[in-house]
A and B are shown apart, each in its own frame.
Chain A
Amino acid sequence: MTNVAKKKTKVVVGRTIIWLSIAILYLPLLVILVFSFTTSNTMTWSGFSTQLFSNVFTHPEISSALTNTLIIALASAALATLIGTLASVGIFYLKKPLKQIVNAGSQITILNADIVTAIAFMLLFISISNIGIPLPDGYPTLIIAHTVFTIPFVILAVNPKLRRLNPNLYEAGLDLGAGHMRTMWTVIFPQLLTGMITGFAIAFTLSLEDFIVSQYNKGSIETISTLIYSSISRGLDPTFRALSSIVFVTVLVAMLVFNAVSSQRAKLSERLRRALHSVK
């Protein structure tokens, strides 16, 4: 009897700790959410208003930074997913020394301190323009940089799926008369799709999150990160509160809905599996 009681206490305490941690993690975001509904410059309540939310889309600097950030994130994540998936397949069939070298290259990119990466890119882009190749600062440099530093993450996301792939699938594609590119598109990519989606999501997030690499290579354009950083010294525009709240709520709702749908499906297949199991 005491055993059961002990177990129950353990479960209650454990769950309390989990929810407490979640509360602490979300507390700052909730404070911001509350204060997005008031317009004062500092965090004091000056009456309910939704003014800040409409400001997000009319404020010239913020709305253009938002557009820049999204375009760069989408473009670089798409490129990284394409190149990374191809690379993942290719690396799988590379022989020992070259394979290790390429993997080490990926590892350096992942683990290198952001600031070193940022400066290295900056110096590279300067050298490129110095030798007379036109490479304007802004979109081109940021999309290149973000693509390069997110590719290894796509490879990491695709690799586990690749390992589970039937090794004869590719041969079967070729055998049936499809070319290499066609086999890749019609046979291999669909099999790797979940890994590619994960890879895209990671690349997209890392691009959104990035501050240091963008800061050093942005040229004259601003992303959300660089804009926030540059406006810290002159006091942060209260519109950022509404922006954080929009991002926060959107992400929260999207993730929870997505998760609810997929867990529903998981539950269904679990029930089926159990039913099968019980008769075998």
Chain B
Amino acid sequence: MTQIKKLQFQRKHFSYPYIVICVVFVVIPLFILAGYALIDSDGNLSLSNFVDLLNSATTYMVFGQTLMLSFLTTLICLILAYPLALLLSNASINRSRTIVLLFIIPMWINFLLRTFALRELLSMLGLGEGYFSVLIGMVYDLFPFMLLPLYTILSGMDKSYKEAGSDLGASSWQNFVRVTLPLSVPGIVSGIMMTFMPALSSFAINDMLGDAHLFLFGNMVNDLYGLNMWNYASALAMIMLIFVGLVMLVGNRFNRRNIRSLGGAKQ
């Protein structure tokens, strides 16, 4: 009886095509990546690629520059987006979803086209290629990814929390610090993830707006790949993968109650 039941189609079986896809196209490739990373130039299994990378000053410089740029990008996005999200979610200032939509529309335009447009504008303003331009480009590209999760959480926040705050004696500022800000943490975390992660692997913006001084992780992988040094490139990607995994764990811990807000972030 139970045997028959097991063979019968059940609703959960609808997920099986996806599980197969996950295994073949997500899990296996990561193993292949690990395989390449663990094979040295002589075709032997070893950690030498990692050792070489970790012994090279260039690696640290590249990681340092990439982390710094990603950090600055994320920070600037947060500082600019939070007040804007507050304004957009304030019912007396903005009731229109169309206005919010106006901030998302540029996302539908290819980011390289946008970056190209920005480059033209910056050069008209007399800002040439360089670190500052790259930073502007990164912020310009990733800003909506920070704004959306913040707007989603702030506009969805039950207004009775704020009312309760002021009922209990909090001024607007105290209400912001003690109620709104802590309640928006899941949105902040998901905004940081949505901004910081793509920033880490970006290199095209640097190619378009940067000068030769800035060499990012993405550039390094790309160059190694171009030089057919796939084992090195894979090892570098593995390091990045481990780093991403760590950030993910920290983010999930922060966000344990509200992983779903990631979903809200992209809508």
Contact = CB atoms under 8 A, between A and B. Distances in A.
Interface in B52-100: 80, 83-84, 87-88, 90, 92-94, 96-99
A115 B112 contact: no
A90 B120 contact: no
B138 interface: no
B227 interface: no
Interface stretch (B13-21, B42-50, B177-185): B13-21
Contacts of A11: 92-93
Q: Is the interface of B mostly helix, strand, loop or mixed?
A: helix
B127 interface: no
A228 interface: yes
Interface in B97-138: 97-99, 101-103, 105-114, 116-118, 120-121, 123-124
Given A22-B102, A115-B237, A202-B266, A121 B25 contact: yes
Interface of B: 9-19, 21-22, 25-30, 32-33, 36, 80, 83-84, 87-88, 90, 92-94, 96-99, 101-103, 105-114, 116-118, 120-121, 123-124, 140, 143, 193, 197-198, 200-204, 207-208, 217-218, 221-222, 225, 230, 233-234, 237, 240-241, 244-245, 247-248, 260, 262-263, 266-267
A5 to B, nearest CB: 14
B120 A31 contact: yes
A18 B99 contact: yes
Contact of A157 (B25, B221, B266): B266
Q: Is the interface of A mostly helix, strand, loop or mixed?
A: helix
A184 interface: yes
Contacts of B234: 119, 123
A18 B80 CA distance: 11
A178 interface: no
A112 B244 contact: yes
A62 to B, nearest CB: 12
A18 B21 contact: no
A187 interface: no
A28 interface: yes
Nearest to B84: A21
Nearest to B107: A205
B120 A244 contact: no
B192 to A, nearest CB: 12
A105 interface: yes
A120 interface: yes
Contacts of A89: 11, 14-15
A23 to B, nearest CB: 10
B124 A15 contact: no
B38 to A, nearest CB: 13
Nearest to A104: B248
A114 interface: yes
Nearest to B113: A244
A129 to B, nearest CB: 13
A17 B110 CA distance: 26
Contact of B94 (A18, A35, A94, A114): A18
Contacts of B101: 255-256, 259
Interface in A32-84: 32, 35, 43, 83-84
A123 B94 contact: no
Interface in A8-33: 10-11, 14-15, 17-18, 21-22, 25-29, 31-32
A91 interface: yes
B199 to A, nearest CB: 9
B203 to A, nearest CB: 7
Pick from B12, B14, B33, B143 the residue with the most CB of A within 10 Å: B14
Given A113-B201, A119-B234, A123-B230, A86 B84 contact: no
